[in-house]
Amino acid sequence: MTDVSGDYDCHRDLGPYAGVADFLGHVATDRPRLAARHRVELHAIAPGLDRTARPAAEEEPIRFHPARRTACLAYGAAEFVAAWADRLRRPVTVRFSHVAEADETTRELIETLVRRVGSSPLKLALRDGGDRPATVADPAPEAVRAALGDSLARGFYHHAARVARDGRATVTPVDDLRHWWAFTTGLATALVALDRPTEALGLYDEVRATTDDRKITMSAAYSTAMLYARHLPAGDQEPERARHWLERALDLAAGLDDPRQRTISTVFYEQGLALLDSRAGEPDRALRLIDDGLARLSAVLAPGERPQDLARLRHNRAQVHLALGDPVRALADLDTVIAHDPGNCEYYVDRAALHRAAGRYRAAIRDYGTAIRLGPHLPEAYYNRAVLQQERGRVDRARDDLERVLAIDPGHLDARIALVNLHRERGALDAAEAGARAGLARAPRDAALLCTLGLICSERGSAAEADDLLTRALAQDPELVEAWTNRAAVRFERGEVAAAVADLDRAVALSVAPVPRFNRGTALMRLGRWDEAARDFSHALAQPGLDRALRRDLRAALARCQRTVAG
């Protein structure tokens, strides 16, 4: 067995995943077959483990990883370590120092490890403070720029922001405009990824006030447009201002000396216009822009050159085909996209959704699995696969996927609610209640969770608490049909039939679903309002796709009303 014990220095000055990457490397050496099953996350955390890895490009990549990816990496790495630790024959202590001064990636992974391996023979000793590590960081602008590009490409945005700020402190736009711009736009990119777009907007304003360099102001104009189009908070997004900055970027691109670069930049910026057109309800116009862009881009690129650029355009076109109601062409584009760029998990998630809509469940589950592998451990792919598994009656597999979602992202409310409901449907009320209360500890005003816990309390016979929870749910979301329906059921069981009818009146006004009509009809019968009850039952029976048992109950109730009125 490889000796993994020792003191691993985690100080942020040593970079993302300092210390923990070395520890994972030692574990991978000890269990290479196990490491092979976790190679995506391990190679992302510790690139030295990947003998085929190439240095990240100095310039910005075509796409950036979402900031939440590091939580997915931490989950996968913790599962790897836990599987290794379960086979230990004796206790092993691993010491991590400078934990309080560690990079955000390192702290996130250590916290995940602590939760996952708490009862195993592996013991983690965490220490703050101590001597500052000796670093060999090269302050030369070229080296700082390379480190920035690497951090951005790998999705380590807190570190990228620190590197970019350090870089900006060493140069000025007067003596080194090229590097100053690289550090400034790199900082803006990191801030956007960290959900701080307003600060990024201020940086681009600073750029425009500092230089009139064509290429720099062109890029800044496009980036500003994307902030207004998609990254600023919803209330601050301005499509017309985004269009203004896109047109400014296109004007500047038209003046580029190199005709090839002129075409590439123009096509790239026009995709922003296509996005705005599609959102504005003009998908035909968006489609023309994308088709024209693909033709012009293909004409200037050599075979096999810039495949990710072509894939991105075809992905955009697939979304427009969907907006136009043409899933067949959307699927054809996604097939081509994946062939061009098979390493992008986003494309598999989109294609899985199309497969699912067409009833191709095996293909959808397969694509979600690929997205999970490439993501890696993408919570939305686990969640969507769980929904499919549950629809197909594979309850245990659905539960496993939902539990994985919450292990990666404890704040994923949809997964929390789905898992609680799954427990409730299986009669595991203790697990259901514990899950609902855990969710409400994170989101105490979430209407769906309040409603679900209210239903659980009702099933446990705690009618007063159920009524209170459902009332709180309705205070948060007065259009939540399930809450009106469930509170009506609670009040009906307590003998408050008129109050139940009033709640069901609200549910019926909000939904055409047959169950609120059936329930209201039942309550109306209790009040002796037989004609009104019969109308509710008849209306519910006219709805398409009724469950066989519900149809039977509705017919029986309607017949009873008709006999009573006739007699």
Asked whether residue 101 is assigned to any structural domain, the reply reads yes
pLDDT digits (tens, 9 = 90+) for 497-512: 999 999 999 999 999 9
pLDDT digits (tens, 9 = 90+) for 76-125: 999 999 999 999 989 999 999 999 999 999 999 999 999 999 888 999 99
Asked whether residue 104 is assigned to any structural domain, the reply reads yes
pLDDT of 304 reads 86
- Give yes or no for residue 56 having a pLDDT over 80: no
Asked whether residue 81 is assigned to any structural domain, the reply reads yes
Confidence class of residue 170 from pLDDT cuts 50, 70 and 90? very high
Whole-structure pTM value: 0.88
Asked whether residue 177 is assigned to any structural domain, the reply reads no
- DSSP annotation of 114: H
Confidence class of residue 200 from pLDDT cuts 50, 70 and 90? very high
Domain boundary at 108, 126, 144, which? 126
User: With contact defined as beta carbons under 8 Å apart, do 563 and 525 qualify?
Assistant: no
Instruction: From 170, 21, 220, select the one nearest 110 (Cα to Cα).
Output: 21
pLDDT digits (tens, 9 = 90+) for 349-372: 999 999 999 999 999 999 999 999
| SS3 label, residue 102 | strand
pLDDT of 291 reads 97
User: With contact defined as beta carbons under 8 Å apart, do 154 and 64 qualify?
Assistant: no
pLDDT of 59 reads 42
Confidence class of residue 389 from pLDDT cuts 50, 70 and 90? very high
pLDDT digits (tens, 9 = 90+) for 7-36: 899 999 999 999 999 999 999 999 999 999
Tokens representing 299?
């004409």
Domain boundary at 126, 157, 190, which? 126
Tell me the Cα Rg of the chain. 29
- Give yes or no for residue 134 having a pLDDT over 90: no
Task: Name residues whose C-beta falls within 8 Å of residue 279's C-beta, 6 or more positions apart in sequence.
Answer: 239
CA distance 50 to 47: 5
- Give yes or no for residue 382 having a pLDDT over 60: yes
Confidence class of residue 62 from pLDDT cuts 50, 70 and 90? low
Asked whether residue 29 is assigned to any structural domain, the reply reads yes
- Give yes or no for residue 57 having a pLDDT over 70: no
User: With contact defined as beta carbons under 8 Å apart, do 405 and 434 qualify?
Assistant: no
For the residues 404-429, what does the mean pLDDT come to? 95
For the residues 446-472, what does the mean pLDDT come to? 96
Asked whether residue 37 is assigned to any structural domain, the reply reads yes
If you count them, how many residues does the chain have?
Answer: 567
pLDDT digits (tens, 9 = 90+) for 295-339: 999 999 998 888 888 999 999 999 999 999 999 999 999 999 999
Distances from the Cα of 89 to the Cα of 85, 119, 461, angstroms: 9, 14, 49
**Average pLDDT score, the chain:** 94
- Give yes or no for residue 55 having a pLDDT over 70: no
Asked whether residue 135 is assigned to any structural domain, the reply reads no
Domain boundary at 63, 97, 126, which? 126
Provide the domain limits for residue 524.
Answer: 513-566
> What is the number of domains present in the chain?
2
Asked whether residue 32 is assigned to any structural domain, the reply reads yes
pLDDT of 205 reads 97
- Give yes or no for residue 462 having a pLDDT over 90: yes
| SS3 label, residue 93 | strand
CA distance 207 to 219: 10
pLDDT of 146 reads 93
